[in-house]
Amino acid sequence: MSAPILLVSNGHGEDLSGALIGKELRRRGLEVEALPLVGHGRAYLQAGLPLLGRTREYSTGGLGYTSGSARLKEVLEGQAVYLVRRLLLLFRIAHRYALIVVVGDVIPVVAAWLTRRSVVTYLVAYSSHYEGRLRLPWPCGACLRSRRFRRVFSRDALTARDLSHQLGRPVEFLGNPFFDGALAPAKPLDSPPSASGPGGEAPRQRLGLLPGSRLPEALHNLELMLRSLEQLEARWQSPSRLGIHAALVGKLSGEALAPLAQRLGWRLELGEEDRGWLRRGPLAVGLEWGRFAAVVQQCDLLLAAAGTAAEQAVGLGKPVLQLAGAGPQFTENFAEAQRRLLGPSLSCASGSPGSEQQLRGTAQLVTELLERLEHDPGYHASLVTNGRERIGSPGGTARMAADIRTELLGADPATQPHA
């Protein structure tokens, strides 16, 4: 293929989906390049896809739900100027590409429309589950009605039906590529250490901790999680009853964890390169670096302060217990919007972030949800059904890539739409 595809995305979760789509397109023999509008685009780098321009990371890591103070910090850090520069780069190079694939929301949608190229878009940031009827921000709807937009994909079936009616054109739900990212083969998690050392008996159930991927927010979220675990009843603190595993990004290293562990009274034990333990009395938390798939697949319940990771867990039919923090990303507002998006698979304790009410309530919900999973088979079945409705079935990446390839092969690069 002489004319390549350009992927444009605007956030950490969007980059993940874009990278999975790009990798699948390349497997099908297509040339793909990526232009993340925010952040370093690490997901693209990990997928081996070329990045355009010089990238930079900012504290919020995306253009979505953030606190007011985070928005101010973005301005002071220069994120608005950086975004403008990235958009100008897009306008300069757009003529090279036969097709632009947008993964995100209104900003890349409008930018892609302005390039006057053929566009396929995956609206991963919007869902009719938020309000019942999606209110697209201006001028997103007008852009999506344009002949320049050859395909529009939604993130769930309800949104596809809603937008098909609103836009007067087909909007398709083929699944969510980010869900496929949680299905990678994973080695079994280790059993929690016994009181005398590693290698204890396998626990009856497992709890996964998803503190997020951005520092310092992820470190603060992990602190809230550890403080919540301290509130568990004694019988639930036994490693033979409950195995606990934290899915950590590389930036949340042992060196970064050491001051937190010391301050909270936990003992940090570092073993192999991608393993370790935090211990406090009978409590033992396995530290799993780069093993997100293993944690989300093998744990019965996920305690989360994360966006995409929680959605992946819901798609797997797992219950998710939210723990809202101080932000800038996973705030109370973000958590409330996420509950509307993902429905009955999510629970959340009341109380302001870091309050005793929140921590005690979270510990209580951990025990209630695990007991319900153990004794109510219908509960697990309902979680699986909800996951299919909200996230879809596996294979969304391949289905979307197949449609994009069909659209590209059917387009004439010399005759671009101008309406």
pLDDT > 70? residue 340:
yes
Mark whether 326 and 269 lie in a shared domain: yes
Give Cβ neighbours of residue 68 (< 8 Å, ≥ 6 apart): none
Contact between 217 and 307 under an 8 Å Cβ cutoff? The reply is: no
Closest CA to 20 of 396, 359, 367, 342: 396
pLDDT > 60? residue 292:
yes
- Is 200 inside a domain boundary? no
Question: Could you read off the pLDDT of 114-143 as tens digits, one per residue?
Answer: 999 999 999 999 999 998 899 999 999 999
pLDDT > 60? residue 63:
no
Mark whether 405 and 343 lie in a shared domain: no
Half-sphere exposure of 11 (CA within 13 A, CB side): 22
- Provide the domain limits for residue 121: 5-181+394-410
pLDDT > 70? residue 1:
no
- Is 225 inside a domain boundary? yes
Res. 65 pLDDT band, cuts 50 70 90: very low
Contact between 355 and 362 under an 8 Å Cβ cutoff? The reply is: no
Question: Could you read off the pLDDT of 98-115 as tens digits, one per residue?
Answer: 999 999 999 999 999 999
| 180 vs 175: CA distance, rounded Å | 9
Mark whether 176 and 150 lie in a shared domain: yes
| 282 vs 183: CA distance, rounded Å | 32
What is the 3-class SS of the chain, one letter each residue? Answer: CCCCEEEEECEHHHHHHHHHHHHHHHHCCCCEEEEECCECCHHHHHCCCCECCCCECCCCCECCCCCHHHHHHHHHHCHHHHHHHHHHHHHHHHHHCCEEEEECCHHHHHHHHHCCCCEEEEECCCCCCCCCCCCCCCCHHHHHHCCCEEEEEECCHHHHHHHHHHHCCCCECCCCHHHHCCCCCCCCCCCCCECCECCCCCCCEEEEEECCCCCCHHHHHHHHHHHHHCCCCHHHCCCCCEEEEEEECCCCCHHHHHHHHHHHCCEEEECCCCEEEEEECCEEEEEEECCHHHHHHHCCEEEECCCHHHHHHHHCCCCEEECCCCCCCCCHHHHHHHHHHHHHHEEECCCCCCCHHHHHHHHHHHHHHHHHHHHCHHHHHHHHHHHHHHCCCCCHHHHHHHHHHHHHHHCCCCCCCCC
- Is 174 inside a domain boundary? yes
Structure tokens at 33: 């390049």
The CA-atom distances, in angstroms, between 381 and each of 148, 265, 366 are: 42, 39, 19
Tell me what pLDDT residue 411 has.
58
Least confident of 1-5, 84-88, 254-258, 330-334: 1-5
- Is 288 inside a domain boundary? yes
Closest CA to 405 of 19, 28, 64: 28
Average pLDDT across the chain, whole number = 89
Least confident of 63-67, 172-176, 195-199: 63-67
Contact between 274 and 295 under an 8 Å Cβ cutoff? The reply is: no
pLDDT > 60? residue 66:
no
Tell me what pLDDT residue 58 has.
63
Question: Could you read off the pLDDT of 2-48 as tens digits, one per residue?
Answer: 459 999 999 888 999 999 999 999 999 999 999 999 888 999 999 99
- Is 199 inside a domain boundary? no
- Determine whether 263 is exposed, middle or buried from the number of CB atoms within 10 Å of its CB (0-12, 13-18, 19+): exposed
Tell me what pLDDT residue 409 has.
83
Mark whether 402 and 333 lie in a shared domain: no
Res. 199 pLDDT band, cuts 50 70 90: low
Res. 416 pLDDT band, cuts 50 70 90: very low
Structure tokens at 360: 């005690």
Q: What does pTM read for this prediction?
A: 0.88
Mark whether 376 and 403 lie in a shared domain: no
Mark whether 380 and 399 lie in a shared domain: no
Q: Are strands 32-36 and 149-154 parallel, antiparallel or unpaired?
A: unpaired
- For tokens 């009341």, the residue is 350
Res. 62 pLDDT band, cuts 50 70 90: very low
Tell me what pLDDT residue 105 has.
92
- Is 418 inside a domain boundary? no
From the CB of residue 48, how many other CB atoms can be counted at a distance below 10 Å?
10
Look up the CATH number of the domain holding residue 141: 3.40.50.2000
| 256 vs 123: CA distance, rounded Å | 35
Mark whether 106 and 136 lie in a shared domain: yes
Tell me what pLDDT residue 73 has.
52
- Is 417 inside a domain boundary? no
Number of domains in the chain: 2
Question: Could you read off the pLDDT of 263-288 as tens digits, one per residue?
Answer: 999 999 997 767 899 999 999 999 99
Tell me what pLDDT residue 410 has.
74
Tell me what pLDDT residue 182 has.
87
- For tokens 């958590």, the residue is 335
The C-alpha angle with vertex 103 and arms to 407 and 385, in degrees rounded to 5, equals 95
Mark whether 142 and 236 lie in a shared domain: no
Mark whether 22 and 105 lie in a shared domain: yes
Mark whether 226 and 327 lie in a shared domain: yes
- Is 190 inside a domain boundary? no
Res. 214 pLDDT band, cuts 50 70 90: confident
Question: Could you read off the pLDDT of 251-265 as tens digits, one per residue?
Answer: 899 999 999 999 999
Closest CA to 322 of 295, 353, 348: 348
pLDDT > 70? residue 172:
yes
Mark whether 12 and 147 lie in a shared domain: yes
Mark whether 405 and 257 lie in a shared domain: no
